[in-house]
Amino acid sequence: MAVTAATMIVWRMRLGLALRAALACGIVGAVTVFGPAPVRRLLAFSAFSYFTTISIVLSDAVSLGDAVRGVWHVMWAVVFVVVSSLPCLWLIGPGRFTSAASAAVAVAVSAFVVALPERTHLLTKRIAFGQLVIVYVGTVIHGGQISFVKHPIRVASSTAAGALAAVAAMMIPFPRLAFFQIRKLSKGYCENGWKRVEAMVEGVGAKTKGEAVAFMVEAKSLSTNATKLLQTIKSNMRGVIWERRQMGFDVEEKLEEMEVAMKGMEAALTSPSMVFGSMDEQLSNFLNNLKPKAISKLQQFKITVPPTSTTAPETKPTFSTPLPLNISPITPQILPTSFFLRCMEILLYDSTAGRNLVSDVEIGRRVNGEKATQLGDHCTKKTCWGTLSNMLPTNQSLCFALKCSITLGLAVFLGLTYTKPNGYWSGLTVAISFATERQAVFTVANARAQGTAIGSIYGVLCCFILKKYEYLWLLPLLPWVVFTSFLVHSRMYGQSGGIASALGALLVLGRKDYGVPSEFANARLTEACIGLLCFLTVEIIFNPTRTATLAKTEFSTTLVALEDFIKRVILVPQKNLNHETSNFVSLIQHHKILKSHVSQLGKFIVEAGFEPNFWFTPFQGGCYEKILKSLQKTLDILQIMLHEIKFLSLELNSSGLIVKELHDSLTEDMEIFSKKLGCSLKFMEKLSSIKSLKELQNKNQNQCLEMEMGKKGSNDGCKAFALIEEDVEKIVGSFCQHANEILSKAYTNDEVEGNLKGQMTLCLSSIGFCMECLMRETMVMEKEVLQVLKLENPSIHINLQELSTRLNAYCTK
């Protein structure tokens, strides 16, 4: 039921957005087709008005703020094109623009200048590209019949009309504010959240695993739906900046923190070491008492956010209810339950690692007399040289500008060469296809071609049916725009295919006096294919590396970053609190770096799944998706583990003389854990760096000769996959033993220190569970890496011991 309710929220939001998109296109059509003659002459390029409107209103989430932002970006594009094209047309003269080559050169040079600034928004660049195509191609088509002043002004007016129509649609019948959309989504997310908590608590308290499976399935489905809600909330956050700047990104951060806590609870529930039916009555009652508090917290959050999102959350270091004393001693069997309780504390009191550590480092810097600065993506120390360096083009921006310039110039030249009257469409098709980030070019081109085709066919059929009623041609557009608004969210077509499909029908049904609809549709489809071929060709030249190869490379980079992060997660006693705080802040920064690598890996995996294989080895997307899930789970566990290590370090430093001997035993366990995990990660990183096993065998044919000559092979201790079940049990068991020693020596008076001892027990148990979970997820990745190796080399028998020996020798050469 909760899944259905959350899905209905998203469905209603998308339907409302689709109706507003249809309204925006209807406004453009009414003004350009039925408006006064002076207005229709001024808005001579209604096709680009539709293009501008569709570019703004057809996206994942659009609000009034997004529309206002779109107008801002369109304004900059209009200013640039008018300012740059007027002198060019005045100097050369419209009468001299008679060849396809002249238009192609003008478009290519202007496009390079537009694309070069890295900070210019992509929408600004796309709109500017389209305007440049219309200005210079239109000059070639009409020659001396147009004025060098009126022509750019009409293009600019048509562009502005499309942007204003998008804003008007977001205002009628009432403003569609991202602020209210986020509030609706937050309510849906929190309702989803307390249903998840309820299901997971019931699952932990189940007597048998069979009873718990049903709750696991329910929690998993709710978790999947929560992820979709969070993605929609993030999409709406862009518009909030233009509506309520003071709201900031606090809501998104709070929801992400809650999501990490609930994912931690889910990890505990689904852990292989979870023992069902072993919970005593006291602990069961304690857990059941916490459940209504967590549900109440989520329900209150649902009501108060986002209106009170600027207020600081209430944080409490401990449970308000005393913890049951019989939660100790710590054993591997109680680790999942203890971790579950700890995550409920994080959920109840917002005590997450990132927020607390940022506040701590601010205090530390004030103590040291340093100026406190905020941590985050928007906080960098700006100097004169830094500002100047940011204005200079980078290699990436130069490559993007050159790619846009060549593609647009080639598309315009071939389009005009093929058919002069319809030479616009090859360049316009390319103009809306560019993206600053890498994209699946074959998928994008295929989606645009199919979208253009079905949109054009729909338009031609409607024209044929309403042949005698041309004044009704706008009516069939409205349901089609609604349909394509939903098409944008499909995996088959996506945003590129949905926009192309909408434009295909709009250009046929939303205009008049352009000739026979069927002939125009055929000519435009041909021109669009010309543009897409140019787009594909240039993209392949500039980005020849397959996405599958990039995914494998990014996986190796992610493993290196994860190995580096694991090495840093060890307990080091610090007498200087500020120094200790800086260490943890450094860990958070490395966690962000690791998170960015995992995010990039996810993008490459999705793109590689749509990439054609041709004659290459097929990409094993299923295995890499499982690896990605393990890495994402690892990120969540590491974030909670940072919080627990900070709490433990502070507590150990305040415990006096017993710190050293007990801390050394814990540090030894952590170092063994780090070494085992790092060895496995290093082996997988080496394994993913080789191209094929055949190459590895050929490279190592001389190994036996070297050994016969007395040369000893290299060995870094990683002779095979490093982790086995016995290792996990041994490391976790040793950690539990040393943790119990700390508890028995540090807390001798249960009556006075009972609640603090309970907190320390949960903290140590959580760290032990995090270590176990990280090792198990690494074992999952090992299994999938081996499966990839088998699938890519089906004819070669794989022996792990022999493979690791060969690999170590190969990697040290």
Task: Report the 3 state secondary structure along 116-151.
Answer: CCCCCCHHHHHHHHHHHHHHHHHHHHHHHHCCCCHH
Residue that terminates a domain, selected from 488, 510, 542: 542
Number of residues written out for the chain: 813
Q: Quick one: 444 and 529 in the same domain? A: yes
DSSP letter for 419, please.
-
619: in domain: yes
Does one domain contain both 535 and 552?
no
* Distance in angstroms between the alpha carbons of the first and the last residue of the chain: 59
Look at residue 224 and tell me if it is in a domain: yes
Same-domain status, 163 and 92: yes
Q: Do 533 and 551 fall within a single domain? A: no
Nearest CA among 319, 326, 316, 262 for reference residue 290:
319
- Domain membership of residue 376 (yes or no) is no
Predicted pLDDT of residue 305? 44
Distances in whole angstroms, Cα of residue 731 to Cα of each of 84, 224, 337, 417, 466: 68, 33, 19, 72, 76
Please tell me the predicted confidence (pLDDT) of residue 346: 83
Question: Of 557, 719, 742, 548, which is closest to residue 649 (Cα–Cα)?
Answer: 742
The DSSP-derived string for 705-721 is HHHHTTPPPP--S-SS-
**Mean pLDDT (10-residue bins), the chain, 813 residues:** 66 86 90 86 87 85 84 90 84 75 88 87 90 88 75 89 91 84 84 85 82 85 86 81 62 81 88 77 74 77 48 45 58 85 80 46 42 41 47 78 91 89 87 81 86 90 84 86 88 85 87 81 89 90 85 90 84 51 76 90 86 80 90 90 79 58 73 86 80 60 45 47 77 84 68 64 86 90 85 69 56 48
**Could you tell me if residue 733 is inside a domain?**
yes
Q: What is the residue range of 294's domain?
A: 181-237+249-306+322-349
Cα separation of 292 and 285, whole Å? 12
- Domain shared by 521 and 639, yes or no: no
Residues 187 and 298 in one domain: yes
Considering only CA atoms, which of 226, 288, 295 is closest in space to residue 255? 226
pLDDT for residue 750: 56
Identify the pLDDT of residue 316. 46
- Angle at which helix 209-240 crosses helix 250-269, to 10 degrees, equals 170
Please choose, from the candidates 647, 586, 643, 582, the residue with its C-alpha nearest in 3D space to the C-alpha of residue 365.
Answer: 582
Which of 482, 514, 542 is the last residue before a domain boundary? 542
3 state DSSP class of 703: helix
**Does 727 lie in the same domain as 625?**
yes
pLDDT at 634: 92
Is the omega angle on the peptide bond into residue 36 within 30 degrees of 0, that is, cis? Answer: no
**pLDDT computed for residue 393 by the predictor:** 72
Q: On the CB side of 811, how many CA atoms lie within 13 Å of its CA?
A: 21
Do 484 and 564 lie in one domain? The reply is no
- Does residue 676 belong to any structural domain of this protein? yes
Handedness of CA 351, 355, 357, 363 (dihedral sign): negative
* Domains: count for the chain: 3
Q: Are 737 and 311 in contact (CB under 8 A)?
A: no
Same domain for 594 and 714?
yes
Residues 339 and 472 occupy one common structural domain: no
**Are 577 and 718 in a shared domain?**
yes
772 CB neighbour count, 10 Å cutoff: 24
Boundary-marking domain end, from 507, 523, 542: 542
In a domain, 408, yes or no: yes
- How far apart CA 680 and CA 781 sit, in angstroms, is 10
Residues 512 and 640 in one domain: no
Residue 651 contacts by C-beta under 8 Å, 6 or more apart in sequence? 760, 763
pLDDT of residue 663: 65
Count of H-run helices and E-run strands, the chain: 29, 0
How crowded is residue 752: how many other Cβ atoms within 10 Å of its Cβ?
10
